[in-house]
Structure 1
Amino acid sequence: MIGRLLRGDTLRRRIALTIVAAMLASVALNALFIQVAGIWARPPIERTGLLEQIAVTSRLIEVAPADLRPQLAQAASSDMLQVVWKAQRADFGLPNDGARVEASRVPVLEQLLGGDRNIEAFNPGDWTRDNPQAHYAALVQLVDGSWLSFTPPERSWGLEIGTRIAIIIALGLIATFLVAWVATRQLANPLQRFAIAARRFGTDLRAPPIKVEGPHEIRQAIVAFNTMQAQIQHFIAERTHMLASISHDLRAPLTRMRLRSEFMEDLDHQRKLIRDVEEMQSMINAALEFFREDTHREATTAFDLSELLQTIVDDYRDQHIEVDFNGPAHLVYNGRPLGIKRVIVNLLENAVKYARNPRITLNRDDYAIRIEVSDEGPGIPEEALEKVFDPFFRLETSRNRSTGGVGLGLSAARAIIREQGGDLTLRNQRRKGLVARVELAVAPTLLG
């Protein structure tokens, strides 16, 4: 079971290693805490290093005359240790009798002071709770019965048991968090790159295959996606080529029909036939142009979408056609500028031809960029709002064949926007007029 779990780079293996690494990191941090800060655990005075200093100082002061001992004790005091000489033990104001220290337990004490010297030690816990005077202290009785007191000026050791437990738990949580953060980052990055690449395929059907990386399960999903992507690309390429070929081959019989119509004696039928042939020729030319653009798709690039729209507005102003624009001065978008320009121009042409007061509105949020082209015209019947996107569909009222066009403009416009991961929709305004909304998705980014 363990062998299968740890074999290969799999999600199960990474999760298991993350748990083990978190446990080892927690143990290591706590071991470091105990090793470096062991004195915080209230060690006995024998482990504080005071007794060695006490032995040397006591021996020096003991051999001096009694009248010089107070001055010598003061001279021996330092920032780390305060030394006081008193003739009587009661003069120190200690809380109680201290713990007896056997000189034989500390070689330097036995060597300098002898094994039978009276030495008492006090720990911070010997004082009453929250007493500001709680500290380590040591008393050494000299040979003449006087006493030396050795006291650190500040209590520099000791943590309560509750504090130590809190530190140990905190270190364990920190170790677990750090290991989990590193492990999930390594696991999430391939997934995020996979998601970004998959979304890119939605906006660019010619996107390259996704790099195979990550644990075994993620690699399997990437391989399956790359296979599906290749099949879709192959299917679309074959379909586009076939339809373009059919449209191109239709030109020959139409040309023959046009030539034969010249020999018709009935001029009325001749005129109708020529009109039908020319209309079919226009439809075929529009279809070929549409397929040609699908074959030679524009490259994606970063550009200022707001500046592009303002350029279109200026072009119409040069033609004495006023188009209102409302939006930010600058808005960078990563897409196909010529395709978007063609879509907006197509929508504006419809608004200018069939309505009045065309307007462009540009805005964005965290998820999408929206371009709305609105007008104050008759609008479109509700049942036809989706049908107008069908190839070669034309309304039989104001927007009919006599006004020009073969019914591929909106179809091509929606195809261009959907190729970039967005959508084009139409809706009627409550009062009057039509609103065409172009919605472009904001590309996701890889988190750091």
Structure 2
Amino acid sequence: MTRFGAGRYRPRDTVARWIALTVLMAMLTALAFNALFVKLAGVWAYPPLSETGLLEKIISISRVLEASESRQRGRLAAVVSEPDILVAWYTDYHDIVLPKIVKTPHGEEAQAIRRALNMSNRRLETYEPADSDGRYGVLIQLTDGTWLEFSTASRSWGLDEGPRRLIVIVLVLLSTAVVTLIATRRLARPLQQFAQGARRFGVDFRAPPVEPVGPHEIRQAILAFNAMQAQLQHFIKDRTQMLAAISHDLRTPLTRMRLRGEFIEDEEQQQRLFRDVDEMQAMINSALEFFRDDARLEEATSFDLAELLQTLVDDYRDLGIEVDFAGPSRWVYFGRPLGLKRVVGNLLDNAIKYGSEPSIVLESDSERLLIRVQDRGPGIAADCLERVFEAFFRLESSRNKSTGGVGLGLSAARAIVLEQGGTLTLSNRAGGGLVALVLLPFQGGL
């Protein structure tokens, strides 16, 4: 932390600084690799003249041409020229097209040429390539004042200019990528841990807090998430305790009402009272089950979803109700089996109660798992396809539990699916009937 202003601090380890340092280090590394490549290219592409193999040929060819007649030297120079060394004869120095870099010979190379040709009083010039595509050259003045030019190509890595530039670009990109990957791991790792912690909390309310690591902004986000997680856990705990107390307090007077009803002599009135008490008891049980919803606190685990659905089908078959199932015989999925069994069971109950030919279809695409619960029946009006998911909303005006329920089943089913990262929607089938589509994130396979 660094101090600035009056009693205020600015964190050093921030995302902004890491991004700036990453860009700076990538640029410096790219420049360093480029400089290293140019240096190596200079050593390889421009070796000393003695290493080109040109000196030995110069000495032998110069002796032959100087011993020949002047009128034959031009033809002889063309004859002795080779692809890797060119020889040209000029009567005037000014006719020679000189390169940009011309050197006066000195050292062992120049002494060797002068000594071999016995030319201590004559001019000798050498030149080196200005770039890797240029040529080495030697100019020798003969005894009659004419000139011989010897030139050979410099080494250029065996590549043309285009491939060499491509090598430089690749080196720059590689160096930038290496620096970027190393630097961004500092940012990516805490973000990945944060995301894993958030997903873990989404499927398990009892998940531990996320460790605050990484740059300042990420640590602040993790601390805020941990505080929110602690508040939600505290809220859920308090709500569970409160609902347990409400359950006890409401059931006690209902039990007394039923006991007192036993003393009513009018049998018709007694049955009406018992029906009202039973309906109130059912409503209380449904409401408490919805708000408490132990399925939402269930820990996620790997299980065979296809076997779970097949078990539901077998349970209904034992009750004399045929439910068709289409899908794989085995499908491993990571989620909450109790919650998904409750969702599909609720949808099947509705399909059996309000329609016919109930069936389940299990399939998947590349990203999602699809569970379809469908039936043949009257369907639902288009303007009510979303409203039926509202708590206590019922299509029937009757409050008879045997027909209309209390209007919490679909609300609880959608809540369970949403908490597993999926969606639950209803749509009318062509030809009559309803389709309940459960979409879940793809987390398993056959």
Query: Aligning the two structures, in what range does the TM-score lie when normalised by the shorter sequence?
Result: 0.7 to 0.9
In structure 1, the residue corresponding to 2:12 is in which secondary structure?
coil
Letter in 1 for 2:252: A
Q: Which runs of 5+ in 2 are unaligned?
A: 79-86, 91-95
Distance in 2, matches of 1:149 and 1:406, equals: 107
Distance in 2, matches of 1:242 and 1:172, equals: 64
- 1:28-67 matches, within 5 Å, as 28-39=32-43, 43=46, 47-50=48-51
In structure 2, the residue corresponding to 1:258 is in which secondary structure?
helix
- 1:65-214 matches, within 5 Å, as 88=68, 91-93=76-78, 94-96=87-89, 105-107=106-108, 109-110=110-111, 114=115, 116=120, 121=126, 136=136, 156-157=155-156, 168=168, 171-214=171-214
Query: Is contact 1:247–1:287 with CA below 8 Å preserved after alignment?
Result: no
Does 2:20 match 1:19? no
1:415: which partner in 2?
415
Query: Is contact 1:39–1:157 with CA below 8 Å preserved after alignment?
Result: no
Query: Is contact 2:367–2:442 with CA below 8 Å preserved after alignment?
Result: yes
Give the root-mean-square deviation of aligned CA atoms: 4.5
Distance in 2, matches of 1:40 and 1:312, equals: 77
In the TM superposition, residue 96 of structure 1 has moved relative to its aligned partner by 4.5
In structure 2, the residue corresponding to 1:371 is in which secondary structure?
strand
Distance in 2, matches of 1:221 and 1:110, equals: 76
Structure 2 vs 1, CA of residues 265 and 307 (structure 1 numbering), >3 Å: closer, same or farther?
A: closer
1:299: which partner in 2?
299
1:245-269 Cα shifts (integer Å, max 9, x gaps): 1012222222222222222233322
Structure 2 vs 1, CA of residues 6 and 339 (structure 1 numbering), >3 Å: closer, same or farther?
A: closer
- 1:227-306 matches, within 5 Å, as 227-290=227-290, 293-294=293-294, 297-306=297-306
1:77: which partner in 2?
none
Percent identity between the two aligned chains: 53
TM value normalised by structure 2: 0.73
In structure 2, the residue corresponding to 1:402 is in which secondary structure?
coil
Deviates further, 296-305 or 317-326:
317-326
1:368-424 Cα shifts (integer Å, max 9, x gaps): 322221111122345554454455555437994235855443333223222212233
Structure 2 vs 1, CA of residues 403 and 339 (structure 1 numbering), >3 Å: closer, same or farther?
A: same
Query: Is contact 2:243–2:292 with CA below 8 Å preserved after alignment?
Result: no
Distance in 2, matches of 1:123 and 1:84, equals: 23
TM value normalised by structure 1: 0.72
Letter in 1 for 2:111: E
Distance in 2, matches of 1:402 and 1:112, equals: 117
In the TM superposition, residue 24 of structure 1 has moved relative to its aligned partner by 1.2
Distance in 1, matches of 2:259 and 2:437, equals: 45
2:357: which partner in 1?
357
In the TM superposition, residue 10 of structure 1 has moved relative to its aligned partner by 0.5
Structure 2 vs 1, CA of residues 106 and 318 (structure 1 numbering), >3 Å: closer, same or farther?
A: farther
Structure 2 vs 1, CA of residues 410 and 169 (structure 1 numbering), >3 Å: closer, same or farther?
A: closer
Query: Is contact 2:254–2:281 with CA below 8 Å preserved after alignment?
Result: yes
Distance in 1, matches of 2:359 and 2:377, equals: 12
Query: Is contact 2:261–2:273 with CA below 8 Å preserved after alignment?
Result: yes
Q: Which runs of 5+ in 1 are unaligned?
A: 63-68, 74-82
1:186-223 Cα shifts (integer Å, max 9, x gaps): 43443344345434444443333223222111211221
Structure 2 vs 1, CA of residues 400 and 85 (structure 1 numbering), >3 Å: closer, same or farther?
A: farther
Structure 2 vs 1, CA of residues 328 and 189 (structure 1 numbering), >3 Å: closer, same or farther?
A: farther
1:229-278 Cα shifts (integer Å, max 9, x gaps): 22122223212321221012222222222222222233322222222222
Distance in 1, matches of 2:40 and 2:3, equals: 38
Structure 2 vs 1, CA of residues 157 and 313 (structure 1 numbering), >3 Å: closer, same or farther?
A: same
Query: Is contact 2:296–2:339 with CA below 8 Å preserved after alignment?
Result: no
Query: Is contact 1:136–1:155 with CA below 8 Å preserved after alignment?
Result: yes
In the TM superposition, residue 302 of structure 1 has moved relative to its aligned partner by 2.5
**Count of aligned pairs between the two proteins:** 407
Query: Is contact 1:313–1:325 with CA below 8 Å preserved after alignment?
Result: yes
Query: Is contact 1:138–1:151 with CA below 8 Å preserved after alignment?
Result: yes
1:29-48 Cα shifts (integer Å, max 9, x gaps): 1121122111466x4x7x24
1:343: which partner in 2?
343
In structure 2, the residue corresponding to 1:221 is in which secondary structure?
helix
2:370: which partner in 1?
370
